[in-house]
A and B are shown apart, each in its own frame.
Chain A
Amino acid sequence: MKLLGLLMGCALVAGAASNDAFLIRDADVYPVTGPVMQGVSVLVQDGKIADIGAKLTPPKGIRIVEAKGLRVYPGMIDSATELGLQEIESVRETEDTGELGEFMPQLRALAAVNPASEHFPVVRVNGITSVMTFPSSGAAGAGGGGGGRFGGGERQFISGQAALIHTDGWTWDDMAIKPCAALHLIFPSMPRGGRGGVSGNPEVTQAPAAAAAGGTTQARQTYEAQIAQINQFFDDARVYQKAKAANLPGFRTNLKFEAMIPVLEGKVPVAITASRASAIHDAVQFAGKQNIKIVILQPRDLKQAAAELKEKNIPVILGRVLALPEYEDDAYDSASTLPLQAYKAGVKFALGTFGNEFVRNLPYEAAAATAYGLPYDEALKAITINAAEIWGVADQVGSVEKGKWADLMITNGDPLEIQTQISHLYMKGKEVELTNRQIELYKKYSSRP
């Protein structure tokens, strides 16, 4: 039995690895970037979408995937996870997020991604084909346990480089779409007084002791000192950049500053965790001063912050739509209406689930955004093309368009609806088996006599 399984596994892999061409015939294609195309075919060659059209003349003998009455969508993208870096939240040994050290731009999430993590097959059966994986989510404790997520580096500012990866591959090299898609910075913030803060708030941990001991004055001093520290680090990096360019005598390579150069050159954005209005404002000011590209992670106070974000053209990654209000006196649905607020304000946004446990529910998070007013098309974009644009890979993934990777799912309906079934999933044109350990356990135990 075991041997047979192995043989079958090999056969499948061999078939898939040959990257042969195929044609998805007679499907309704939802490209996300344009109107629905009904009854068309999609030609996939060399892992890419070679053509889409009603009257394609495919090469003779090509493999045909009949899709009449079915729909083709791009694979979904979760813009904030720790996939591959964390297996079991409560077990330190399986956790590779949250390194020690305050400024750690040289750390690469990609190189710590475990391609054999059980999380990958679990999320991909629900159509999630790529994810941003962060060296630390900046979301300590949100949604359970949370122990040790920051390792010993509780006072971390720069946690490292986040990678955009496919959710399938033999190695992390295979999986990489963009090895360094963002540098992750956890912005400090002033603790807000009063009752009702949510423990999942990433910034509360930054200066609580100071706030408790010395009141707001001391907390402000701490806060300002921390921002000065961050500015100093960027300034030092710039000095290093100049020294390197000038090839000054005695110049020595510094890995931290080396990693900062693409950021200073504007090639890599800084993803800044900042949820409160004041933190977002200060982060935007900081970005202006340092002349860097930024993306804001998990903003909450969009009412106050949206205008400035829109003006500066700064995109955001919204956290879970199904989340508690931050304060006791907030409207009960205040987290769920954030996508609508961002949309109305014209702020570009994508969704992230900020953790590993909820990645597979990404489409339902998008659906929940529609329940609280977000137009449907915008919800779909928030987990596909918007994410691709924000992370600078819109030429490769995020929509069903000629020339892009064939990251596709074939469904029998709307992917945001729970009951919709995915019949085929492709990543880079390779069919991915829609199974995982959970399905195997299901089969095994549901057949127990």
Chain B
Amino acid sequence: VVQNATILTVTHGTIKGSILVRDGKIVEFGDKVLVPSGATVIDAAGQYVTPGIVDPHTHIGADGGVNEGSISDSSMVDIKDVLDPEDIAIYRALAGGETTIHILHGSANAVGGQCVTIKTRWGKDAQGLLFQGAPPGIKFALGENPKRSGNPTGRTATGGAPTARYPATRMGVEDTIREAFTDAKAYQAEWADYRAKVARGENPIPPRKDLRLEPLVEVLQGTRIVNCHGYRADELLMMLHVAKDFNFKIDLFVHGLEGYKIANEIAAQGAGVSTFSDWWIYKVEAADAIPYNAAILAKKGIVTSLNSDDAELMRHMNIEAGKIMKYGGLSENDALAMVTLNAAKQLRVDKWVGSIDPGKDADLAIFDKYPLSASAKVVKVMIDGTVYFDRDKALADNAREQQERQKLIEKEKQNQQRQQPARRPTV
């Protein structure tokens, strides 16, 4: 039981009271929660509880490699295969209140790799991090990044020597994506034909399995989350057309910094957008980014979230949500939803996480102060009812580790001094 807290539920407003957690799930919350005998009590007097923060756009824990940049269509590679559970960035994200994150492939390819949703269960192995039940994702990328590799005068996304690789323009980016889905549809039809034959009792030869097209077929079937990296309104609109023509849904545009210019079109197609609060102008396609983007999109009824795309920013998404109240005047609830429930909806995990509701996973972040402010910090984080981060404990542990480290260094120094004379030649 988390007691005496101010609880920002997202779905039921902000209340004072307690949250009862059992077997990793939220059982009930409110001011009339009874503490069962034997329950662990966390006193959160004067503190604030929010749902664990959900971040739909991160690149951490991917063992250093997020871009399979050698080809324009890399849908066969999967971030899940390179998950590094020991990446310290996972711990730091956890310490900032993030409990569910989507780890994306990079943006060097028009058709990028497969993506995975995890919980930040620091200390677990790669398998233990996976968010069970969360659908897998795939990343598409538009604009400067995917075309850069093809530009004979540009750099590759990783800063390497330029290599000629189609596409080099936004036109080519569109074509690359359309070619891929055209192939995927043909491939899907081949399999449908095969299955129909099997169903008729025939004995056909199965089509060759194509690992590049399999995930795209899942997109067409609606079982895979579509992330699409894009900045400018024109390229976002292009992708909306592609999605319409091939009849799939764009779960979320990531960045989407000019989404506000085509909010009507995005809303009409039911696509989501995950954007920054106020990051801008680091490149040309980010020059028209405005901090009001998220507010404009949300007011048009678009499922809008904030994302970090950054190992530092992801440690304080609560502050980013606060900025959306400032820029565009969204309510506390709507702003907080942008880093919790809306993000969970985009990742299709909202039946488990994203708000404080009975039956949902007990993923909670506890802040020492009003969380939509830069003066607040996370003091405890719970995932599935287990406390994975406790600030006091974390600091004490770190101090002890630093001491141990110092001791080991001293010891090693002494060892070296002792050994040195023996190493000298005796001539």
Q: How far is the CA of A145 from the CA of B299 in the complex (A)?
A: 31
Known: A357-B282, A364-B319, A442-B328. A417 touches B312 (CB 8 A): no
Contact of B326 with A419 in the complex, beta carbons under 8 Å: yes
Query: B-facing mask of A182-203, CB < 8 A → 1, else 0?
Result: 0000000000000010000000
The segment from A41-49, A82-90, A282-290, A390-398 found at the interface with B is A82-90
**Which single member of B91, B325, B372 contacts A332 (CB below 8 Å)?**
B91
Complex contacts, B376 vs chain A, CB 8 Å: 371
Chain B residues in 8 Å Cβ range of A323 = 312
| Alpha-carbon distance between A366 and B242 when the two chains are bound, in angstroms | 45
Interchain CA distance A65-B373 in the complex, whole Å: 29
B375 near A367 (CB under 8 angstroms)? yes
CA gap between A154 and B43 in the complex, in Å: 53
The CA-CA distance from A445 to B322 in the complex, in Å, is 22
Does A332 contact B375, Cβ atoms closer than 8 Å? no
Q: Bound state CA distance, A147 and B299, in angstroms?
A: 36
Residues 278-333 (chain A) with a chain B CB within 8 angstroms? 322-325, 328-333
Give chain A nearest CB distance to B183 CB in angstroms: 33
Q: Is A434 on the interface with B (CB-CB < 8 A)?
A: no
Q: Identify which of B8-16, B211-219, B220-228, B257-265 touches chain A.
A: B257-265
A331 to B398, Cβ gap below 8 A?
A: yes
Seen from chain B, the residues whose Cβ lies within 8 Å of a Cβ on chain A are 88, 91-92, 95, 155, 159, 260-261, 263-264, 278-284, 287-292, 296, 299, 310-312, 315-316, 319, 322-323, 325-326, 328, 368-369, 372-377, 394-395, 398-399, 401-402, 405
Known A-B contacts A329-B402, A418-B319, A418-B373; A88 and B292 likewise in contact (beta carbons under 8 Å): no
With a cutoff of 8 Å between Cβ atoms, the chain B residues found around residue A333 in the complex are 95, 377, 395
Q: Once bound together, how far apart are the Cα atoms of A332 and B264, in whole Å?
A: 42
A88 engages B283 (CB within 8 Å): yes
Main SS class of interface, A: loop
Q: Judge whether A418 and B311 touch: CB under 8 Å.
A: no
Indicate if the CB atoms of A418 and B326 lie closer than 8 Å.
yes
Which residues of chain A are within 8 angstroms of B264 by Cβ–Cβ distance? 448
Contact of B296 with A144 in the complex, beta carbons under 8 Å = no
- A152: chain B residues at CB < 8 Å are none
Is A372 among interface residues, defined by CB-CB distance under 8 A? yes
A222 to B291, CA, bound (A): 45
Contact call A329/B401, Cβ cutoff below 8 A:
yes
The one of A87, A196, A360, A361 in contact with B88, judged by C-beta atoms closer than 8 angstroms, is A196
List the 8 shortest-distance A-B pairs measured between CB atoms, nearest first: A367-B374, A364-B374, A442-B292, A438-B290, A90-B283, A418-B322, A331-B398, A371-B377
- Bound: A332/B98 CA distance, A: 14
> Which residues from chain B contact A145 at a C-beta distance below 8 Å?
282-283
What residues of chain A lie closer than 8 Å to B291, measured between beta carbons? 438
Does A57 touch B at the CB level, under 8 Å? no
How many A-B pairs have beta carbons closer than 8 Å: the answer is 128
B261/A416 in contact, CB under 8 A:
no
Given the complex of chains A and B, what is the CA–CA distance between A360 and B375 in angstroms?
A: 16
Q: Is there contact, CB below 8 Å, between A367 and B394?
A: no
Check A360 against B278 for contact (C-beta < 8 Å): yes
Neighbouring A residues of B287 by C-beta, 8 Å: 88
Mask, A414-425, CB within 8 Å of B = 1, is: 001111000000
- The chain A residue with its CB closest to the CB of B279 is A357
A416's partner among B289, B292, B374, B399 (CB-CB below 8 A) is B374
Q: Give A contacts to B, CB under 8 Å.
A: 87-91, 118-119, 143-145, 147, 196, 322-325, 328-333, 336, 356-357, 360-361, 363-365, 367-368, 370-372, 416-419, 438-439, 441-442, 445-446, 448
CB distance from A94 to the nearest CB of B (A): 9
Given contacts A371-B369, A417-B373, 4 further A-B contacts (CB under 8 A): A145-B282, A330-B398, A332-B92, A438-B291
Q: In the assembly, what is the distance between CA of A370 and CA of B372, in Å?
A: 15
What are 7 A-B contacts defined by CB distance under 8 Å?
A: A356-B281, A357-B282, A361-B278, A363-B374, A438-B289, A442-B260, A448-B263
Residues of chain B within 8 A (CB-CB) of A438 are 280, 289-292
Q: What CA separation (Å) do A63 and B426 show in the bound complex?
A: 92
Chain A residues closer than 8 Å to B159, beta-carbon distance: 147
Q: Contact: B402 with A442, CB < 8 Å? A: no
Q: Please give, as numbers and ranges, the residues of chain A lying within 8 Å of B372 by CB-CB distance.
A: 418-419
CB-CB under 8 A from A442, the residues of chain B are 260, 290, 292, 296, 328
Closest Cβ neighbor of B399 among chain A residues: A331
**What is the CA–CA distance of A438 and B288 in the complex, to the nearest angstrom?**
7
Instruction: State A435–B91 Cα separation when bound (angstroms).
Output: 40
* Cβ-defined contact, A371 with B394, below 8 A: no
A418 touches B323 (CB 8 A): yes
Contacts of A357 in B (CB 8 A): 279-282
User: CA separation between A336 and B260, bound complex, in Å?
Assistant: 34
Nearest B residue to A361 via CB reads: B278
Q: Could you say which residues of chain B place their CB within 8 Å of the CB of A329?
A: 398, 401-402, 405
**Which A residues are in CB contact (< 8 Å) with B91?**
332
**Chain B contacts for A439, CB-based, 8 A:** 290, 292
In the bound complex, do residue B296 and residue A445 qualify as a contact, i.e. CB atoms below 8 Å apart? yes
For A119, the chain B residues whose CB sits under 8 A away are: 281
For residue B399, give the distance in angstroms from its CB to the closest CB of chain A. Answer: 8
Contact of B316 among A88, A322, A445 (CB under 8 A): A322
Given A364-B319, A441-B290: A89 in contact with B283 (beta carbons within 8 A): yes
